[in-house]
Structure 1
Amino acid sequence: MVSGRSRRAGREVLDSDHDRPAWQLRTDDDANVIVLSGAWIAQQGRVPALPSDGLRQALPDRPIHFDTAALGRWDTALVGFLWQVKQLAARDHLAIQADTLPDSARKLLDLLPESAPAPAAPHRRAFAPVTALGGRTLDGLTEIGTMTELGVEAARGGLAALAGRGRMRMTDLMDNIRDAGPSALLIVSVVNFLVGAILAFVGAVQLRRFAADIYVASLVGIAMVREMSAVMTAIIMAGRTGGAYAARIATMQGNEEIDALTVFGIPVSSYLILPSILGLVATMPFLYLYGCLIGMLGGFAVSISMLAVTGPGYLHQTLNAVALNQFEFGFAKSIAFAILIGLTSCRIGLRAGRSAADVGVAATRAVVVGIVGVIAVDAIFAVIATTIGI
């Protein structure tokens, strides 16, 4: 006695065999007929292949017809098979009569060529270093000119805003100030505190040999005020705020919001770029001063715990070592870093493509360019400080 489960399994096997796709070439009555049967579904993975000599038994000078009486469901698997038939028929100089095929399959078959296109030859670049150098130079000069023009337009928008004729919205400016300032205090605090502590620890190891523990305060104070606070804060803002600016503008570029602003006659420099730059310019100097204080606090913590230095002595030595012009120099440096990060990030966002992947590329590029630019500008400021004797 056969159980109901066995009978159902047998029917499933029979149905599966009945739906299995198959093809056969018949040459009855002086005609070439390809009989198609079963379900031609690509996901089932049972589509039969057509060998290169699949039409060797076809009658010459006779067109190829199709018998689709037993054809079941089909998708692109059938279209791919028909294209192979078409290519072999063109090679053997046989015509195809596709009247009996389903309308959709026949229309798709008519769109396909009789032979697959040849793969394109790989492009080989000729060795032309002078041409490549010239192209890179021209591209760099063009980008510098575009950045300069963008900065001039933003400066004009800022002057117009001071005169009460600008198109910059104060809400946008305040949002950028909040994002670039208070929201960044935590990471600025952590990084500058650790940098100050590291400077104090490294200095303590060397100065302790000469019984000059108190000069750790001078080392930390001068290093933080002159270099480390401004540079580390700028690097943080390049990675945090600069990448956000580039990603935001790149997203607007992909959503065609930039095109909409241009159509409505709203200048992008005043509407997007100026608030971003002013937000950084307004917050970076204060973040620099805050970073100096936190860095000195990190050095103070290490000195008190490791060296024979008192709190009043550390404070007195720091005040005597750090002159006011050092703060002025770092203040000017932080403003230059802010303008650099704002301009480069917005420019990279405007140059981005319109896909989702281009947003990530723009953000990454803005971070890299911002960090490298900060280091390069800091080197220029170091040369200037040496020249003028600061």
Structure 2
Amino acid sequence: MTEHEHNRTPAGADSTASRPEWKVQSSPTDTTLVVSGDWTIDDGAALAIPSDALKTSGTARTLHVDVSHLGQWDSSLVSFLWTVKQVAARTKLSLDLAQLPDGVQRLFALLPTEPVPPAQHPHHPFAPLQATGAVTLDTLKEVGALTELGADTARGSVKALSGHGGMRLRDLLVNIFDAGPSALLIVSVVNFLIGAILAFVGSVQLQKFSADMYVANLVGIACVRELSAVMTAIIMAGRTGGAYAARIATMLGNEEIDALKVFGIPISSYILLPSILSLMLMMPLLYLYGCVMSVIGGYVVATGMLPDVTGAGYFNQTIGAIDLHQFEFGFVKSIVFAVMIGLTSCQIGLSAGRSAADVGTAATRAVVVGIVGVIALDAIFAIIANILDI
């Protein structure tokens, strides 16, 4: 019988008697793995065995483990034996663990018989029809949920007007303050700057044609008809719509929505109706206020840049250029914008997840959907105005 012995010790290990060591003793009929010393992480125990350590030329079919000289051990020994088992399986050897301590055998029994293969990234084949169908179904689902939410809110508003709804006047007043007076500063700054920018651009071009006074017409018509309503709605989508979505998503994560449903309190009347109704009441007023600030912004720039434009002449020209129908058109748009922002923000909050990260995701999604929705609705209104010659 010829015996082949392979010694392996960790690099940098000391030469004390308790150092962790392993060696393979092989013969034509038997292969034994001898483990000795203290097998702990602190002692620098090996966690793997080389893939060529168990290659033998004999007829042995079982790899025995000799632990007669084993000292202290921890999970590093189990990890080492796990790699030994994998290498032994590739060399057609079965691992005999009968001589191992009971603790090692119990830990080893918890491991799977084979290593878990690495997770494969799912392969998504190119299927345009399937992708289009999925997007269409998701869109229809969102539209259906939004329509149902709007119908529930409309029914709740009718009940609230008759005195039988679940809406509290206190909640409505708080939401009105948040959606109205609290937003005056940012609405003032944005619309003032919009009017000033229009007046600056217009004055530069109109001066070339000696039409300085028509700067008032440009600022007045553009802001009353389009920009004040759109910019105010975008501000409310980013400020109030995101707050609505975050608030409802937080209530959903704290199980407050579930508690209201258990007590039979309608969500549409108790939470959603005050939010949407406050936006519907405040958006037209903010639109009017934004028109005034835009005209003032244009007035400051026009009178400062154009020597032929006086303050009284600017305001007279503005009043003569703006028709009452322009305000009616802006009023209708602002109310539609308010309903869209309120419904989409509340629906996004109700469909959010229950984690803290989902609150931020819901707020971001509400802002994006609100801004895109405002611009899309404004394009639709422009087409309608063109058809009706308004």
TM-score interval (norm. to shorter) = 0.7 to 0.9
Q: Output the CA distance in 2 between the equivalents of 1:67 and 1:360.
A: 60
Q: What per-residue deviation string (whole Å, max 9, x for no partner) do you get for residues 303-357 of structure 1?
A: 1100121111111111111111111111111111011111111111222222222
The residue that corresponds to 1:61 in the other structure is 62
The residue that corresponds to 2:187 in the other structure is 188
The residue that corresponds to 2:323 in the other structure is 323
Classify 1:203/1:260 alpha carbon distance in 2 versus 1 (closer, same or farther; 3 Å).
same
Letter in 1 for 2:357: A
CA contact (8 A) 1:86 1:96 kept: no
Classify 1:98/1:295 alpha carbon distance in 2 versus 1 (closer, same or farther; 3 Å).
farther
Q: Does 1:125 align with 2:124?
A: yes
My pick for the range that moved more, 127-136 or 183-192, is: 127-136
Give SS of 1:34's match. strand
CA contact (8 A) 1:20 1:46 kept: no
Give SS of 1:119's match. coil
CA contact (8 A) 2:38 2:71 kept: yes
**Identical aligned residues as a percent:** 58
Q: What per-residue deviation string (whole Å, max 9, x for no partner) do you get for residues 128-165 of structure 1?
A: 32232223222212221111011000111111111111
The residue that corresponds to 2:310 in the other structure is 310
Deviation at 1:261, TM superposition (A): 2.6
Give SS of 2:275's match. helix
Q: Does 1:198 align with 2:185?
A: no
- Mapping for residues 163-174 of structure 1, pairs under 5 Å: 163-174=162-173
Letter in 2 for 1:183: S
The residue that corresponds to 1:225 in the other structure is 224
The residue that corresponds to 2:101 in the other structure is 100
The residue that corresponds to 1:10 in the other structure is none
The residue that corresponds to 2:268 in the other structure is 269
The residue that corresponds to 1:388 in the other structure is 388
Give SS of 2:312's match. helix
Deviation at 1:111, TM superposition (A): 2.3
CA contact (8 A) 2:39 2:45 kept: no
The residue that corresponds to 1:37 in the other structure is 38
Deviation at 1:114, TM superposition (A): 2.1
Q: Does 1:371 align with 2:371?
A: yes
Deviation at 1:31, TM superposition (A): 5.9
CA contact (8 A) 1:40 1:78 kept: no
CA contact (8 A) 1:21 1:48 kept: no
Bigger proportion of residues as helix: 1
Classify 1:16/1:366 alpha carbon distance in 2 versus 1 (closer, same or farther; 3 Å).
farther
Deviation at 1:389, TM superposition (A): 2.3
Q: What RMSD in Å do the two structures reach over aligned CA positions? A: 3.1
Give SS of 1:24's match. strand
The residue that corresponds to 1:234 in the other structure is 233
Q: Output the CA distance in 2 between the equivalents of 1:20 and 1:279.
A: 78
Q: Output the CA distance in 2 between the equivalents of 1:132 and 1:15.
A: 59
The residue that corresponds to 1:9 in the other structure is none
Q: Output the CA distance in 2 between the equivalents of 1:263 and 1:165.
A: 20
Deviation at 1:259, TM superposition (A): 2.6
My pick for the range that moved more, 190-199 or 113-122, is: 113-122
Provide the TM-score with structure 1 as the length reference. 0.85
Q: Output the CA distance in 1 between the equivalents of 2:25 and 2:160.
A: 86
Deviation at 1:19, TM superposition (A): 12
Letter in 2 for 1:24: W
Q: Does 1:344 align with 2:339?
A: no
Q: Output the CA distance in 2 between the equivalents of 1:32 and 1:81.
A: 12
Q: Output the CA distance in 1 between the equivalents of 2:263 and 2:66.
A: 60
Classify 1:368/1:17 alpha carbon distance in 2 versus 1 (closer, same or farther; 3 Å).
farther
Classify 1:382/1:242 alpha carbon distance in 2 versus 1 (closer, same or farther; 3 Å).
same
Q: What per-residue deviation string (whole Å, max 9, x for no partner) do you get for residues 40-76 of structure 1?
A: 26xx99754332244458974354365695326x46x
Q: Output the CA distance in 1 between the equivalents of 2:107 and 2:293.
A: 70
The residue that corresponds to 1:285 in the other structure is 284
Q: Output the CA distance in 2 between the equivalents of 1:381 and 1:45.
A: 75
The residue that corresponds to 1:71 in the other structure is 72
Q: Does 1:22 align with 2:23?
A: no
Q: What per-residue deviation string (whole Å, max 9, x for no partner) do you get for residues 84-132 of structure 1?
A: 2343355521132485154xx6544322212212234443333332232
Provide the TM-score with structure 2 as the length reference. 0.85
Q: Does 1:357 align with 2:357?
A: yes
My pick for the range that moved more, 52-61 or 232-241, is: 52-61
Q: Output the CA distance in 2 between the equivalents of 1:254 and 1:108.
A: 39
